[in-house]
Amino acid sequence: MALRLRRGSNADRLLITPLEGELVYATDSKLIYIGDGATVGGVLVGVQALGSNLNLAGNDIVGTGNINITGTITASGDINLGDGVGGDTIGIQGNITSNLLPNVDSNYNIGSGSLRWNNIFSTGVDVGGQINAETINSNIVADDSTISYNKASNTFNGVFDGDLSGSVFGDDSTALVDAVNNHLSASQLTAPVIASPTPTAGISFNTQDEPSRFILQRNSDSAIAGTTPVGRLIFGYKIGDAAAVTITSISVTNDQLSFIPQPGGTPNYNNYMKLYKTGTVQISRAGEISNAPGDAKLEVGGAVLYEPMTTTVRDALTAAAGMVIFNTTDTKLQVYDGSSWINLH
């Protein structure tokens, strides 16, 4: 015959103190308790080791306590850890042997603005969006394995292909590129090409309440010879993928300023002009010349005005052979031959 235990809801059980050895069955929690004559509701009958798999048959495991398992937990459905309210923690002391993939693309974060991870050690990082970082302490390597930015020498040797937005600051926190006001304020700039986004607008150099300066400076560890160029402005053009062609250059050395036409890219020394620091002007003199008056030629497409002066003013000059003036006293064009003034007409 069947043995029927004392039964009732779990709330009913907590209203009695079962006798010693008396069994009580809670109909809603499906648990069995045994009385010891003193404990209200009785003592839960301990769960012994199972001799076979535990089949929940669509039911849940509920309660307050810990689950301690030595082995592997395999779940084919969803796993919810924590209640989403906060305060729950998850500790993982083992190794992860698979990928960590979100179920929705670009929807979840790792950490937050107030709760950040410490260090991330990774062989590579593939980022599809923006990177916000206070500092980056590493080399930047291009796809061809060349170092674009060398952190040891603090130099950038790469090429930006695309748009670069934001301000750029020096080591002393001085703004080199002011992205807010669209200003470039670097004291030195090293770049192979500077191009205006609007070709017809060109590139402007502006200073506030001071004269604008465009400085070309050659640095050297040894003395620079008088005829060695210290700066050049080169004008030319480029068609498609062909090599650039220089048509004219302005060159500056220690002792001269040269305007050199270069038709087809070849300097034409028969049609250039040099202005020496002594004030001498050389025009259309073939080959390199010394810093002396020489055999210069001056061709002017209009009238030439020589310095007009009286005989008294002329005689007070420290004249040099070849000097030409217009004498307003004698109304004559005169040249100094080294010893006296000679009328030219």
- The predicted-structure confidence for 283-301, as pLDDT tens digits, reads as follows 765 544 454 444 455 555 5
- Which CA distances in Å does 14 have to 20, 27, 64, 127, 342? 16, 13, 18, 59, 139
What fold does the segment set 1-47 form as a domain? Seminal Fluid Protein  PDC-109 (Domain B) (2.10.10)
Q: Does pLDDT of 12 surpass 90?
A: yes
pLDDT value, residue 46: 67
Burial of 303 (0-12, 13-18, 19+ CB in 10 A): exposed
Rg over CA atoms, the chain: 46
β-strands 308-309, 324-327 pairing: parallel
The label of the residue with tokens 């998850």 reads 90
The label of the residue with tokens 């769960």 reads 47
User: Cβ atoms within 10 A of the Cβ of 276, count?
Assistant: 20
pLDDT over 90, % of the chain: 17
Instruction: Provide the mean pLDDT of the chain.
Output: 81
pLDDT value, residue 286: 55
3-state secondary structure of 117: coil
pLDDT value, residue 49: 57
What is the distance between the alpha carbons of residues 200 and 314, in angstroms, rounded to a whole number?
Answer: 51
pLDDT value, residue 15: 93
The label of the residue with tokens 């950038």 reads 156
- The predicted-structure confidence for 292-344, as pLDDT tens digits, reads as follows 444 455 555 567 788 899 999 999 999 989 899 999 999 999 999 999 999 99
| CB of 247 closer than 8 Å to CB of 263 | yes
pLDDT value, residue 340: 94
- The predicted-structure confidence for 205-236, as pLDDT tens digits, reads as follows 777 788 877 777 888 889 888 888 888 888 88
Residues 6+ apart with CB under 8 A from 330: 311, 343
| CB of 24 closer than 8 Å to CB of 6 | yes
User: Cβ atoms within 10 A of the Cβ of 7, count?
Assistant: 13
pLDDT value, residue 291: 45
- The predicted-structure confidence for 15-34, as pLDDT tens digits, reads as follows 999 999 899 988 888 888 88
Task: Quote the DSSP letter at residue 45.
Answer: P
- The predicted-structure confidence for 71-91, as pLDDT tens digits, reads as follows 888 888 888 888 877 788 888
pLDDT value, residue 293: 46
pLDDT over 70, % of the chain: 84
Kindly compute the dihedral angle of the four CA atoms of residues 271, 277, 280, 282, in this order, to the nearest 10 degrees: -10
- The predicted-structure confidence for 145-180, as pLDDT tens digits, reads as follows 888 888 888 777 766 677 777 787 777 777 777 878
What is the distance between the alpha carbons of residues 329 and 308, in angstroms, rounded to a whole number?
Answer: 10
3-state secondary structure of 23: strand
pTM passes above 0.75: no
> How do the domains of the chain map onto residue ranges?
1-47, 300-345
Q: Which residue has the higher pLDDT, 10 or 282?
A: 10
CATH of span 300-345 = 2.10.10.30
3-state secondary structure of 230: coil
Instruction: Report the alpha-carbon angle 8-10-13, nearest 5.
Output: 65
3-state secondary structure of 343: strand
> Does 1-47 match 300-345 in CATH topology?
yes
Closest CA to 18 of 5, 29, 30: 5
